[in-house]
Structure 1
Amino acid sequence: MKIVEKNGRKYKLEVASNLTGADMSRCDLSWTNLESANLTEAHLAYSDLRWSNLAGADLTNADLSRANLEGANLTGAKLDGADLYGASLNGADLRYARLNATNLCWVNLSGSNLREAQLIQANLRQAKLERSDLTLADLSNADLVEADLRGVNLTSANLAKANFSHRDDSDDERYKSTLTGANLYGANLTNADIRGANLEKANLVNTNCSQLIYDEDTILPSTFELR
C-alpha cells in the first residue's frame, strides 16, 4: 500500500483524479488522498472518509449520505447540491468550501471549521453545529430549523433571510433552534426568522437585526434590545 505524506499527515493510496459518477458506497477511504479529485455525482453513501484529504475536490451533487468524514480536510471543496444527510463531519476542515443548496440535515458538524464557507440555501435542519467556527460564512436563506448552534462562532456571518423558527405544532424545547452562547458579533440577521429560537447569552454586539422576525417564544440575551 502506497503511503503519501502531505502537510504533516500520512495518507494511504492516491486514487485516480477523475471519479465522476463513481460508486464507492460503503468503501473504506479513511486517510485517502483525494485532493482536487473530480467526484461530481459520485456515490459515497455510508463510506468511511475519516481524516481523508479532499481539499479542492469537486463533490458537486455527490451522495455522501451517512458518510463518516470526521476530521477530513475539505478546504475549498465544492459540495454544491450534494447530499450529506446524516453524515458525520465533526472536527472537519471546511474553510472556504462551497455547500450551496446542500442537504446537511441531521449532519454532525460539531467543532468543525467553516470559516468563509458558502452555505447559501443549505438545508441544516436538526444539524449539530455546536462549537463550530462559521466566521464570515454565508448562510443567507439557509434552513436552520431545530439546529444546535450552542457556542458557535458566527462573527460577521451573513444570515440574511435564514430560518431558525421552531415547528409550529410543537412547544417542545427539542424542536427549537439553540444559539445559546453563540457569537454573532457583526453578523447580518436581516429578515432572519428566529421565532422560538433560544439566543440566551448570545453575543449580538453590532449585529444587523433589521426586520428580524421573532415572537414571544424567542429567547434573547437579557442585555439586548431590539431597535
Structure 2
Amino acid sequence: MTDKEKSIPGGNSEPSLETYRKWFAQQEASEHRYLKYLRWMNPCYARKRISQRIWSDLLDKERREAIQVIISAASIITATFAAIGLVATVNNAAEERKQSEKRLNLNAERLELDSRRFEDDKRLTQERLITDRFTKAASLLESKDRSVRIAAIFALERIAIDSPKDHWTIMELLSAYVREKSPLLIQEKTAISVSYDVQAVLTVIGRRGAVSETIGQKISHYISTVSGQQTSQKNYYDREIDLRNTNLSKANLIGANLSGADLRNTNLNGADLRNTNLSKANLIGATLSGADLRNTNLSDAVFSNANVHSPLPNPYGPQQKGLIRANLSKADLREANLSRANLIGANLSSAFLNEANLSKSNVSGANLNSAELISANLSDATFFGTNLSSAKLSDAKLKRTICEFCDFRNATFFRTDLSGADVSDADFRGAIFLHPDQIKGANSWRYAKYNDAMREKLGLPSETSAN
C-alpha cells in the first residue's frame, strides 16, 4: 500500500466518491495555504516548486528523457544551422570583397585610360600650338624690321626649350640664318662687327649650355613617354653646330657652348671667346686674329691652317688678348698661325703643333708636355718657365727664343736650331738627340742643367764637383 493510499480515509475499504471529494478538497486547501506561505516567504522558490510538481505529476521518466533528447537534438540542429549561416555569411562577404576589388580595378583602369587620353590630347594640343608658334616665328625671320627679327629669334629659343624634339630643328634653322645673313666674303680684309640679329642668334646658340640639363631632361621624358624607351640626354644634346664659312668677327661669344662646332674657314677676328667651350671644334682655316681666347676650352679642337696671331704691336703688354690659360690639350694646331699669340699658362699637353708658327708668341708658364712641335717656328718667342718635357722638337726653330727655366727633360732635339736662344737654368737632362754643337749655339748654355755625360761633352765639370 502506498503512502497516498494510507492517507485516504476509510483504510483498506473502498472509499466512496464523496469521501474522495472531501479528501481532495482538504488537500487542495492545505496545498493552497502552503503555497501562499511560500509565496510570501520566497516567491521564486514557490514558482520553482510548483513547476517541479507539475512536471513530475504530468510526465513520467521515459517521457522526460525523450523530451530532453528532442531538446538536445533541436539545440544541435539550431547550432548547425547557425554554423551554416555563419559560413554562408563569410562566403558572401568574401565574394562581395572580390566583386568590390574587381570594381575598383575596373575603375582604376578607366581612370588610367582617361588619364592617358587626357595626356595624349594635351600633348597633341601642345604640339599644334608649338607648330603654330614655330611657323609664325620662322616666318618673321624674313621681316624687314630688325626688332621683329630679333624677337622671332628669341621666340624660337623659347620654343626650343619648351619642345625638346624641335630643339635641333631650331638650332639648325638659326645656324642657317647666320650662314645666310653673315657669309664669309673672300675679299673681306677688315674685321666688320656682326649685325644685331646675327649676334642674337649667336647668343641663343651659345647659351645652350645654360639650359642643357633642362633640355636633356625634357628630351628624355618626351622619348620615354612616346616610345616607352629610355634615352640618353647626351645623344640629343651633343650635336654639331654648323657655322662654317661665316663672318663672326668681333662677335660676343663669352661663355658660349660651341663644343664640336663646325667653324671651318670662319672669320673670328676680334671675337670675344673668353670662357668659351670650343672642345672638339673644327677650326681648320679659321682666322682668330685679335680674338680674346682667355680661359677658352680648346681641348681636342682642330686648328690646321688656322690663323690665331695677335695684331697688337706689343704682344706682351698688359692689354694683350689671346689664349691665356686656354685648354688646348690634344688640340690639332698643325700649320696654325699663332704668331704673337698670348699663350701664357695655356694647356697644350699632347697638342699637335707640327709646322705651326709661334714666332714672337708668349708661351710662358704653359704646359707643352708631350706636345709635337716638329718643324715648328718658335723664333723670338718667350718660353719662360714652360714645361716642354718629352716634347718632340725635331727640326724646330728656336732662334733667339727665351727658354729660361724651361723643362726640356726627355725632349727630342733632332736637328733643332737653338742659335741665339737664352737657355739659362733650362733643364736638358735626359734630352734625346741633343748635340753639344746645338747647345753651344745658344746663349748662357753654361748655366743650364745637363746630365753628367753631356756635361763631359761640353767640357763642363760634373754636377757633383760643381756643387
Q: TM-score band (shorter)?
A: 0.7 to 0.9
Change (3 A) 1:198 1:33: same
For residues 150-209 of structure 1, the C-alpha deviation after alignment (integer angstroms, 9 at most, x for no partner) is: 0000110001110011xxxxxxxxxx3111011111002445634243213211116769
Q: Work out whether 1:181 is the aligned partner of 2:425.
A: yes
Kindly report which structure 2 residues correspond to 1:1-227, keeping only aligned pairs within 5 A, or say none. Answer: 2=207, 4=209, 12-15=255-258, 17-66=261-310, 68-165=322-419, 176-191=420-435, 193-194=438-439, 195-205=441-451, 222-223=460-461
For residues 97-152 of structure 1, the C-alpha deviation after alignment (integer angstroms, 9 at most, x for no partner) is: 00000001001000000000000000000110010101100001100010000000
Q: Distance in 2 between matches of 1:136 and 1:51?
A: 25
Change (3 A) 1:43 1:196: closer
TM-score w.r.t. length of structure 2:
0.41
State the structure with bigger RCO (CA 8 A, min sep 6), 1 or 2.
Answer: 1
Contact 2:298–2:327 (Cα < 8 Å) also in 1: yes
Amino-acid identity (%): 32
Change (3 A) 1:21 1:151: same
What residue identity is the alignment partner of 1:99? L
Q: Distance in 2 between matches of 1:55 and 1:47?
A: 17
Q: Distance in 2 between matches of 1:110 and 1:64?
A: 17
**Which protein has the larger Cα radius of gyration, Structure 1 or Structure 2?**
2
Q: Distance in 2 between matches of 1:125 and 1:132?
A: 15
What residue identity is the alignment partner of 1:14? N
Match of 2:149? none
Give the CA deviation at 1:4. 4.6
**Which runs of 5 or more structure 2 residues have no equivalent in the other structure?**
1-202, 211-253, 311-320
Give the CA deviation at 1:14. 1.1
For residues 56-105 of structure 1, the C-alpha deviation after alignment (integer angstroms, 9 at most, x for no partner) is: 00000000011600000000000000001101001000000000000010
Q: Distance in 2 between matches of 1:14 and 1:134?
A: 30
Give the CA deviation at 1:3. 7.8
**Which runs of 5 or more structure 1 residues have no equivalent in the other structure?**
6-10, 166-175, 213-219
Q: Distance in 1 between matches of 2:453 and 2:325?
A: 31
Contact 1:20–1:40 (Cα < 8 Å) also in 2: yes
Q: CA RMSD in A?
A: 2.3
Q: Distance in 2 between matches of 1:181 and 1:63?
A: 32
Change (3 A) 1:32 1:89: same
Q: Distance in 2 between matches of 1:159 and 1:207?
A: 16
The worse-fitting range, judged by mean Cα deviation, of 184-193 and 40-49 is 184-193
Contact 1:200–1:221 (Cα < 8 Å) also in 2: no
Q: Distance in 2 between matches of 1:142 and 1:111?
A: 20
What residue identity is the alignment partner of 2:288? L
For residues 28-75 of structure 1, the C-alpha deviation after alignment (integer angstroms, 9 at most, x for no partner) is: 011100000000010111100000000000000000011600000000
TM-score w.r.t. length of structure 1:
0.82
Contact 2:423–2:442 (Cα < 8 Å) also in 1: no
Contact 2:369–2:390 (Cα < 8 Å) also in 1: yes
Q: Distance in 2 between matches of 1:25 and 1:99?
A: 21
Match of 2:70? none
Change (3 A) 1:44 1:221: farther
More strand by share: 1
Contact 1:72–1:93 (Cα < 8 Å) also in 2: yes
Contact 1:199–1:221 (Cα < 8 Å) also in 2: no
More helix by share: 2
